[in-house]
Chain A
Amino acid sequence: MLTLLFDGIAYGMLLFILAVGLAVTLGLMNFINLAHGAFAMAGGYVTVLLMNRADVPFVACLVIAFFVTALVGAVLERTLYRPMYARPHLDQVLFSIGLVFIAVTAVDYFVGSMQQNIRLPEWLQGRLPIEAVGIGKYRLFIVVVCALLTVLLQWVLSRTRFGSRLRAAVDDPRTAAGLGLDVDRIFLATFAVGSGLAGLGGALGAEVLGLDPTFPLKFMIYFLIVVSVGGTTTITGPLLAALLLGIADVAGKYYIPKLGAFIVYTLMIAILLWRPQGLFARTATR
């Protein structure tokens, strides 16, 4: 029971790290980016390829995965995404679906369609020697890393100059630009960090979620659930939504395996029917 809860929390934390970048693009730029999972997949593949072909240690891989995907995100933001911000939602949906299809087939072409495995380092394998609760070391590692990142994010957003600029740009891009903030650059940086976090999440999650070329399609709906249920105005909203989703999914799959992902989807529809702006949204945004 407690093991299940812990696994759920680890899964939820992972989802949060994966989806937080999406929360920012959606909330900040009002941009529906279905291709977010592609960045996560990129991070996962960077890790797998580096570890299996170049013997780079795991933790170094995580850092590299973050920076590589952040760089890719920055380049794509500058070249492809920026003209899309002002477009209608239908265009954004089509555009990002197109990117997903390209990413999926490109990975399929270059790496192959089989599932990729990660060999975890010795110190992350096995379980903690506590009898009552079976806690996998790797799950604990995920929880610790994700919790640290969450605190860091919260601190950056609420205490630093960059955070207050970002929040100003969220609330009203035009006024923020009028006050002399370089909104374009803030968006660029935020998009890059969001992509980087997705890449890091993908690298961390390759072991737990499984990694194959259909990753962005398989988990797209999960990321979207986190963001739409959590609301896009705060960072705690998506966090709570991700934890809820993680626990519900793990518990649901354990207790009622026949129903599978059914519970999660039904829960999402019910919540969105009840509160279309998300569970934790401020009222009347935009």
Chain B
Amino acid sequence: MTATTAAASAVPPAGPSPAAESLARRARWRWWELALFAALPLVWLLVPGQSLLVNEIAIVALFAVSLDLILGYAGIVSLGHAAFFGFGAYAAALFAKDVLPDPLIGLAVAIAASAALGLATSVLILRGTDLTRLMVTLGVASILYELANKLDWLTGGADGLQGVVMGPLTIPFTSLPGFAFDLAGRTACAYSLVVLALALLACRRIVRSPFGASLEALRDNRLRASSIGVAVSLRLVAVYTLSAAIAGAAGGLLAQTTGFASLDVFDFHRSAEVLLVLVVGGTGYLYGGIFGAIVFKLLHDLVSAWTPQYWNFWLGLFLVVLVMVGRDRFVRPWTWARRRRAA
């Protein structure tokens, strides 16, 4: 990265430069981040009865984190992020069914496939306004939906891809027998949590780096960022590809842990839901997706148990209220009355 070398060469022998110091401050671990990472294994140990739910939450969280990379850090509004999620899901499911049932290699394939798709479609989001980008992302997801629907010899069409049987989860570089995926979802849950933790660590490293800082710069003002020498298009391509890869990992996890991939993974609902999840948790600090996923899934469980058919109504109402109150204030109820008086 050019920014690092520039910062490093500018360091005077006496001590670190202000720029390097501020970058180091960005990268410092906070106590709550450590607590969050420590909580992940605890969840697995403490709520063994809810493994399936935890697994779902982890997958949605991972998906939302991937969206946060482009929305929260690079400022790209996407209505078709499910394209990558679904592509990863189908890639993992097809790989397990037709080539090799090993989950780790399958996950790698899903990530690589989605990353390739992200790279290929990233040219589409470089130009135009927010509306153009919305349309193009939505269009890509719709095309994939149509493809998955029509190529029924490959994907099973509207019936979904059935009969995906996963092999046991082995630990790489050991000769242990590995863990089979069980019905209670203990293995699946641990697997998803580990992938989530690894992805979070990788993303954390990336967004706290000078590269991440340059992303925020171009989100806030693209013209200025390019005039101080940030290669805007390249960075957008890079972050879009990365985000696609992580979304693909989330989709792959879903397909592997449920043993099923259906058209639903490309659906517009998915793209809209992940937006909501991320927005509930808060954008632009990487962990928003996790909190959003927890809130969203628990709420979903509650409301679905109460009125299974009309979950969408409450989802819509929630969205409208959320935006009317204001995204940034929604998590801080004590500010609601204050701002209203000021307005």
Partner of A99, one of B71, B139, B309, B320: B320
Given A93-B134, A261-B142, answer yes or no on A98-B319 (Cβ-Cβ < 8 Å): yes
Q: Is B316 an interface residue (CB 8 A)?
A: yes
Partner of A228, one of B127, B132, B322, B323: B132
Given A224-B138, A228-B132, answer yes or no on A98-B320 (Cβ-Cβ < 8 Å): yes
Q: Given the complex, which residues of A lie within 8 Å of B128, measured CB to CB?
A: 272, 276-277
Q: Is B306 an interface residue (CB 8 A)?
A: no
The reply to whether A265 and B132 form a contact with Cβ atoms under 8 Å apart is no
The reply to whether A98 and B316 form a contact with Cβ atoms under 8 Å apart is yes
The reply to whether B324 and A83 form a contact with Cβ atoms under 8 Å apart is yes
The reply to whether A109 and B134 form a contact with Cβ atoms under 8 Å apart is no
Q: How many residues of B contact A (CB 8 A)?
A: 42
Q: Is A259 an interface residue (CB 8 A)?
A: yes
Instruction: List B49-81 residues whose CB lies under 8 Å from chain A.
Output: 71, 77, 79
Which one of A100, A104, A105, A273 has the highest number of Cβ atoms from chain B below 10 Å of its Cβ? A105
The reply to whether B143 and A262 form a contact with Cβ atoms under 8 Å apart is yes
Q: How many residues of A contact B (CB 8 A)?
A: 44
Residues 170-192 of chain A, each 1 if its beta carbon lies under 8 Å from chain B, else 0 = 00000000000000000000000
CA distance A66 to B319 in the complex (A): 28
Given A98-B320, A260-B150, answer yes or no on A273-B313 (Cβ-Cβ < 8 Å): no
Tell me the minimal C-beta distance from B152 to chain A in angstroms.
10
Partner of B140, one of A99, A105, A225, A269: A269
Partner of B147, one of A94, A95, A108, A262: A262
Q: Is A268 an interface residue (CB 8 A)?
A: yes
CA distance A262 to B310 in the complex (A): 31
CA distance A32 to B133 in the complex (A): 12
CA distance A83 to B312 in the complex (A): 24
Instruction: List A74-102 residues whose CB lies under 8 Å from chain B.
Output: 80, 83-84, 87, 89-91, 93-95, 97-102
The reply to whether B150 and A98 form a contact with Cβ atoms under 8 Å apart is no
CA distance A227 to B131 in the complex (A): 10
Q: Given the complex, which residues of A lie within 8 Å of B317, measured CB to CB?
A: 98, 102
CA distance A90 to B74 in the complex (A): 13
The reply to whether B135 and A97 form a contact with Cβ atoms under 8 Å apart is no
Given A102-B313, A225-B135, answer yes or no on A94-B127 (Cβ-Cβ < 8 Å): no
Given A89-B130, A97-B272, A262-B150, answer yes or no on A272-B135 (Cβ-Cβ < 8 Å): yes
Please, which residue of chain A has its CB at the minimum distance from the CB of B321? A98
Give the secondary structure class of A's interface: helix
Q: Is A283 an interface residue (CB 8 A)?
A: no
Please, which residue of chain B has its CB at the minimum distance from the CB of A225? B135
Q: Given the complex, which residues of B lie within 8 Å of A89, measured CB to CB?
A: 77, 130-131, 134
Q: Given the complex, which residues of B lie within 8 Å of A26, measured CB to CB?
A: 131
Tell me the minimal C-beta distance from A187 to chain B in angstroms.
19
Please, which residue of chain A has its CB at the minimum distance from the CB of B318? A98
Partner of A276, one of B132, B276, B323: B132
Tell me the minimal C-beta distance from A108 to chain B in angstroms.
8
* B residues at A contact (CB < 8 Å): 71, 77, 79, 123-124, 127-132, 134-136, 138-140, 142-143, 146-147, 149-150, 268, 272, 275-276, 279, 309-310, 312-313, 315-320, 322-324, 327
Q: List 24 A-B contacts (CB under 8 A).
A: A32-B130, A32-B131, A32-B134, A89-B130, A90-B71, A90-B279, A94-B323, A95-B324, A98-B320, A98-B322, A99-B320, A101-B313, A105-B316, A108-B310, A109-B313, A225-B135, A227-B131, A265-B143, A268-B135, A268-B139, A269-B140, A273-B123, A273-B136, A276-B128
* A residues at B contact (CB < 8 Å): 26, 32, 80, 83-84, 87, 89-91, 93-95, 97-106, 108-109, 217, 220-221, 224-225, 227-228, 258-262, 265-266, 268-269, 272-273, 276-277
The 5 closest A-B pairs by CB, nearest first: A98-B319, A276-B128, A101-B316, A105-B313, A102-B316
